[in-house]
Amino acid sequence: MSNKIKSFKNFFWITIIIEILVLIGINVFLGVEIYIPLVLIVVEIISFFYLIDGFGNALDKQSKGLKNILGENAKDAIIDGGVGLLIYDDNYVITWMSELFLERKIDKVGNKLLTWIPEADDVLSGESDRVMVELDERKYLIRRKDDAPMLFFKDVTEVDDYRSKYLNEHIVLGMASFDNYDESTQYVDDAEVSNINAGVRLPLNEYCNDHGILAKRLSDSRYLLILNEEKYGELVQDHFSILSKVRKAAQKMDLTITLSMGFARGSNDLIKLESMVTNLMDLAETRGGDQVAVQVDGHDVEYYGGSTEAAEKRSRVRVRVMSHALRDLIMKSSNVIICGHRTADFDCIGSAMCLSKMVESLHKPCSIIAKSGGIEEKLNNAIKENEAFINDNYNFVSENEALNQLGDNTLVIMTDHHNIKQSNGSKVLSDAKKVVIVDHHRRSTDIGVKPILVYIEAGASSTCELLTEMIPYISSNVDILEMDATFMLAGMIVDTQSWRVRTGARTYDAASALKKLGADGNLAFRWLKDTYDEFTLKANVAVNAQHYDNGIVIALVDDKVMTRSLMSQVADSLLGIENVEASFVIAIDEQNEMAISARSAGKVNVQMIMEKMNGGGHMTAAALQRPKGNMNELREELLNVINEYFEEGVNNESDS
């Protein structure tokens, strides 16, 4: 019986004793007969025990409901299966609990259900059909009976433990590759190669041994990694510190070697995992290396690291091979269509011009999509200034005109971009049978097309740099005129922020080659000059910009529309301020959308920051666009992502 029944019985006996004592006192002092009252008291006692016995039996039946309904064996089976029931009233007060709870000494009858189990609120409100809770170190799955105030509890402790163990034992296939290894060891003797191997391989081998990872060397620079989900979880908790360790070890030897890794998860099909991890390694390396690419089967790729700028690692042999492959594809095509990105800039149009001259040297008709998708303002002025030259040497078309030229044997070349969502010829790309990509931006996961040739070099300053190197290998008859070379040189100037970022020896070699072809540097810089209004606007934005920790500057422009080109120029100019490492300009662009233009001096990877907000770009130049909304909320979102970036950077021990 419950404590309340016992208390009631005690109160009843005290009352009876008091009544008898009062009757005895009346009889002794007043001489009044008390037989009839005593008989009534006896009847009262008998009635009480009859009622309390019936109530006790009813309560006992209720407390042993499962036993009475299902029988002793069924009740034991349900209890052994970890099933419990609970009933509550309209005020969510627990009125009954089944034997499972009593056996486990859980008695909450009379208590508020949500006070005991706050997690049950989602089930009671209908927001969720089940919820997992932990009671006395055991896990229960709770469900509600739809047509009654009753909750079902299922003990899933063992099942959940087995499930966790099962998932933790799933195979994860990984791969690790030393970036720039071949270039670093190409011209050194065997003794120095041995020192390099010892210096960069030792940290990786120790790291794998410490985390229980089987590492099998496939070549001098590449390893196959076999581990399980539990070990992979340890790597995530460790923030893949091996990237920093290898980078530091290489820096001590004055080398630019870094580590790229890929991990494929979520499948027991080893063939599929092998295909996934190979693709992940390509992604990590074409994005510049020094990072980890991870994918669960059926989900998007996630990236960790990427804290250093991509190094120049393409060899002359690779340039020649890619050039010959492109030449062969052009010669086997009926015609060529070149498409750039929306709001085309000098690098986009300059590279398109170079590609057009390459195609013409191979006697194939060529068109450039330049009348759709928009053109950056300064570039548009330069094109208008040289309209006669453009019309005589190039076939600029709209996307609809290009669609009419598209055939089964047409080759479509994407230049200065590699994502169909950014293209000014997305319809053409969707229908094209043969697509080639030539780009210098870090590769994004989603390309949107299936190219037959991809030449993405994140270590190059610009696409114009890549194509300048390819000219001699395409044909000896490529006729690059002085004006063509000037447009290409302007593209390199823009993408290097006037030779301040992403410049290597190959960059200056390409610029020198363009100068030999007649590029006019003074003319290129004149095209890039600001008008007085632009200069005033830049100054006003810079004055109102806000400075944050870690050298971050954010300028929010909410009182006027800015072109994306002008936004990028303002972001570039903010980098000229002392102690500014990265700048972000937020404004409404010419397409009436919210936009962010991000620029970095080289220490902050703005591409990673923009990618977390569904944007993209390069390590030192990135951007995003959103439908028009609350710009202050966009700034707060940006600040939160920047804070997360620096927190991850600290945890990753990045010293870039």
What is the DSSP annotation of 453-478? EEEE-TTSS-HHHHHHHHHHHH-TT-
pLDDT (0 to 100) of residue 73: 47
Give the tokens for residue 52.
Answer: 């309390």
Judgement on whether residues 138 and 202 belong to the same structural domain of the protein: no
241 lies in the same domain as 320 = no
User: Could you tell me the two tokens for 89?
Assistant: 């009233």
Q: Contact 613/637 with Cβ under 8 angstroms? A: yes
Q: HSE on the CB side for 202, CA within 13 Å?
A: 9
Is 129 domain-assigned?
yes
311 in a domain, yes or no?
A: no
CATH of the domain at 412: 3.90.1640.10
Residues 502 and 563 in one domain: no
- Domain stop point among 512, 527, 542: 527
Radius of gyration of the chain (CA): 38
Chunked mean pLDDT (size 10), the chain, 656 residues: 59 72 70 68 68 57 49 53 84 86 85 88 83 87 84 86 79 92 80 89 94 93 93 90 91 88 92 92 81 90 70 70 94 96 94 96 96 90 95 95 95 94 93 94 80 88 94 93 96 89 87 95 92 82 87 90 84 87 92 91 87 83 89 93 80 40
The pLDDT of residue 5 is: 60
CA nearest 638: which of 584, 560, 591, 563?
584
Domain that holds residue 548: 532-651
- Separation of first and last alpha carbons in the chain: 72
Both tokens assigned to 70: 């299902």
Query: Is there a domain that residue 656 lies in?
Result: no
Whole-number Å distance between alpha carbons of 192 and 468: 34
Instruction: Identify the three-state secondary structure at position 404.
Output: helix
Q: Kindly state whether residue 25 falls inside one of the protein's structural domains.
A: yes
Residue 80: per-residue pLDDT = 59
Q: Give the three-class secondary structure for 335.
A: strand
For residue 122, the domain's CATH number is 3.30.450.20
Query: Is residue 294 situated within a structural domain?
Result: yes
Task: Name the nearest CA neighbour of 397 among 372, 430, 428.
Answer: 372
Whether residues 324 and 292 fall in one domain: no
| Residue 112 DSSP label | B
d(Cα 504, Cα 402) in Å, to the nearest integer?
36
pLDDT at 654: 38
Q: Report the distance separating Cα 570 and Cα 592, nearest Å.
A: 19
194 with 288, same domain: the answer is yes
Cβ count within 10 A of residue 303: 20
Domain boundary among the residues 527, 551, 566 is at 527
The total number of structural domains in the chain stands at 5
Q: What is the pTM of this model?
A: 0.61
The DSSP call for residue 307 is -
CATH code for position 637? 3.10.310.30
Q: What's residue 307's pLDDT?
A: 58
Regarding whether 273 and 133 lie in a shared domain, the answer is no
CA distance 278 to 273: 9
Whether 180 and 206 map to the same domain: the answer is yes
What CA dihedral angle connects 55, 58, 60 and 65, to 10 degrees? -160
Tell me, yes or no, whether 324 and 359 share the same domain: yes
- Give the CATH number for residue 243: 3.30.70.270
Q: Same domain for 23 and 81? A: no
- The four Cα atoms 61, 63, 69, 73 give a dihedral, to 10 degrees, of -120
N residues, the chain = 656
The reply to whether 225 and 275 lie within a common domain is yes
Q: What is the pLDDT of residue 457?
A: 86
Boundary of a domain, candidates 262, 285, 305: 305
- Tell whether 310 is covered by a domain: no
The values of phi and psi at residue 569, to 5°, are -65, -40
Q: Are residues 517 and 545 in the same domain?
A: no
- Extract the runs of DSSP E, i.e. beta strands, from 75-181: 83-88, 94-97, 131-135, 138-144, 150-155, 171-179
Residues 197 and 269 placed together within one structural domain of the fold: yes
